[in-house]
Structure 1
């Protein structure tokens, strides 16, 4: 299975998981008098739509390079990540606003059984996070990573809700709004996670230099190719799940242009064989003396 197919399959898992949990949380929150659970349901609902966007983005990103997109369509991924972050920020804002309204409005203490629902949700969302974040690392997908952090932020809001409802049940009168405060604090965590997701995607769009380990590996592998005496400049930029490389390779200044051309092709093929995550590899030949 290709990386693209693996990422798409993982996104289907996220969509089904979030849809199921949104229904469970919404019903439990309504029947159990817990706005923290309702806030959780709101976030899971936005997660469904954001996961659908991730799916569409991954499907588009796997399209092959064409005349208008010689480097492929991978840049759609960080753009989709920006939209996912917008969903997160929107849900956090709605949760915060509704929490403040509920804090100001007297209401019943949440039902004790809502804690059992939350306990199951927390465990499942953390498992979901681990599954999706593992796939995001395997596929180098920034949008899948954002989807994974949706699961983690959902788990965090559920933990906060669990704490809030526990306080309300233990201390009873006067602490009815504890789960509302929990939802409000959870919205802050969601905003913080939004920044953690947004920052790497911005770096990807801006071709930020953050690939020192990969560059070092490229330099080491280059020296294994016959005729390559060393390397000079090496630039890496990411597009989707692939890394595009511009590399200056040093060769003997006495060889012919044809021989230098052959070394460049061998180096390109060797790097793409040894480092399958590489996309376009552009080799510039430099003489070892002037």
Structure 2
């Protein structure tokens, strides 16, 4: 049985009681600029109106400097009612829209089947089976990063949703994975509590702020998974917190673990957003948390320092 978010919240409350942790809210002043997700209701050159999951509407002013992404730099015409948008505001107060991603989607996992340009992808037990179509004009671009587009190969693309269909258009911007004959680094004798590597993002169906961690405790109903071969990470549980710092922007925040990042440990690539990250993927952030910390969804990653919360 997969863990529910209710279980995660119960574990956080129990942890606070047992270890006398002060209550921490993700909407306090320590959190950086808050991304806004919702369905586009209306848009003009001066304002965008979004309907959020809780039924409320938010109006954000736009200007000539507002950047719109829809498979690349896009124009106002792509802000069509009914499409989903993720907006990064210009400041913590969310007074205006700095950047808008329209219908952005991501598929990360292992290819289980292929028919032509349609790929079935196992995204892990928490995200299930996904189907993605890679158009002909994008196939060569994807193959630069994923030359083996066949069952058993890893797959990570960013694209857009069109109704129920996902179009995979661009691979993650990262350095190539190490060659199979590459010599592995010597094993560590101790488990590190400060992790420096790559942060990526995933789509959280609840639109929440949290992290998927590659070494979640497998016992009980935590829905955990191992950290993968050659990766040494401390085991944590649902409800634990990570202090995450974007080394490209300097923005940081405490982020709760809401699920297991089962697929992250299987990738050995390095992010190249501001230099090459010192190791591979150490955390996946939900889409809103990723944007809050200064990440660009179309880039797909940033260099990160993660400090594990230890009582």
Higher strand share: 2
TM-score (norm 1): 0.22
TM-score (norm 2): 0.21
Higher helix share: 1
